[in-house]
């Protein structure tokens, strides 16, 4: 009887490993990872180093020049976007429970991931130039480029090739989970902005609100990174299970 129960539980666990998680499950795992980050001092140190100063400067600029929306967007996209890539490197090292989050290899890690993301971004940009759908498809195909470049240490060409392979299993689900995070974030901002507009119009142009926008957008990006990491771990487990199953056969 014990033998039957043991093998039943073992088979159940094997079946679970052999099945990829859904969008909501990945979102739940991402939230757990995000909560794990919040409890780590190294995450907040990385935030201060990578994005902390920029968020303050961005809030000051938005407060002093409220009409310069396009210029503010450009600053956030080109400067803030690159700083977020650097923060993502430290996030992935923390989530992977790497003991050396800050160390001699920090610069090489930042450079390897940044250049990989640059190449992937160029391909994605080309896709969006032609049509929306090709751009979205390329975004899904290269959704694991940062994780592979950092955690597996592959060259750029092999990183992009491997990302295309892994994303073919669950890239769409991970993309949907990340998109859901973004939509929920926009909904929360809209609700907060609506309430504040009723209370006072001047609050919307204050440094406090602009700083809240800057920090919250950074944390939203950290949550998206956590969700993508959950998808990466899920597909890696799935890949390992398939390899073990093939070896047993």
The predicted pLDDT at position 13 comes to 45
Q: How far is CA 164 from the centre of its chain?
A: 17
d(CA 204, CA 209): 6
Assigned domain for 186 exists: yes
Assigned domain for 3 exists: no
At residue 167's C-alpha, the angle toward residues 161 and 168, to 5°, is 95
Number of domains in the chain: 1
The predicted pLDDT at position 7 comes to 44
Assigned domain for 136 exists: yes
The predicted pLDDT at position 101 comes to 80
CB 32 within 8 A of CB 184: no
Using left for φ > 0, alpha for ψ between -120 and 50, and beta otherwise, residue 97 falls in left
Burial of 10 (0-12, 13-18, 19+ CB in 10 A): exposed
Supply the range of the domain harboring residue 46.
33-248
Tens of pLDDT along 188-233? 999 998 888 887 777 778 898 999 999 999 999 999 999 999 999 9
Enter the pTM of the model.
Answer: 0.86
Assigned domain for 12 exists: no
Assigned domain for 62 exists: yes
51: nearest Cα among 27, 67, 28, 75: 75
For the chain, what percentages of helix, strand and coil (3-state, to nearest 5) are there?
A: 85, 0, 15
Assigned domain for 145 exists: yes
Tens of pLDDT along 32-60? 999 999 999 999 999 999 999 999 999 99
Assigned domain for 24 exists: no
Assigned domain for 141 exists: yes
Tens of pLDDT along 151-189? 998 899 999 999 999 999 999 999 999 999 999 999 999
């Amino acid at each position: 009887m014990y033998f039957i129960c043991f093998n039943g539980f073992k088979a159940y666990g094997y079946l679970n490993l052999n099945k990829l998680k859904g969008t909501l499950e990945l979102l739940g795992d991402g939230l757990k990872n995000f909560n794990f980050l919040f409890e780590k001092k190294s995450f907040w140190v990385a935030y201060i180093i990578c994005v902390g100063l920029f968020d303050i400067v961005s809030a000051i600029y938005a407060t002093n020049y409220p009409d310069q929306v396009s210029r503010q967007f450009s600053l956030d996209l080109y400067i803030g976007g690159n700083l977020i890539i650097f923060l993502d490197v430290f996030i992935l090292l923390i989530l992977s429970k790497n003991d050396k989050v800050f160390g001699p290899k920090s610069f090489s890690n930042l450079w390897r991931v940044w250049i990989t993301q640059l190449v992937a971004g160029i391909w994605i940009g080309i896709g969006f130039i032609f049509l929306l759908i090709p751009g979205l498809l390329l975004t899904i195909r290269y959704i694991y480029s940062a994780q592979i470049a950092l955690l597996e240490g592959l060259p750029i060409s092999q990183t992009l090739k491997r990302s295309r392979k892994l994303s073919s299993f669950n890239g769409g689900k991970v993309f949907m989970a990340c998109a859901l995070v973004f939509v929920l974030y926009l909904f929360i901002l809209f609700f907060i902005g609506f309430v504040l507009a009723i209370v006072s119009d001047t609050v919307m142009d204050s440094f406090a609100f602009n700083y809240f926008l800057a920090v919250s957008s950074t944390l939203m990006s950290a949550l998206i990174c956590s969700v993508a990491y959950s998808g990466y771990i899920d597909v890696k487990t799935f890949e390992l299970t398939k390899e073990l199953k093939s070896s047993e056969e």
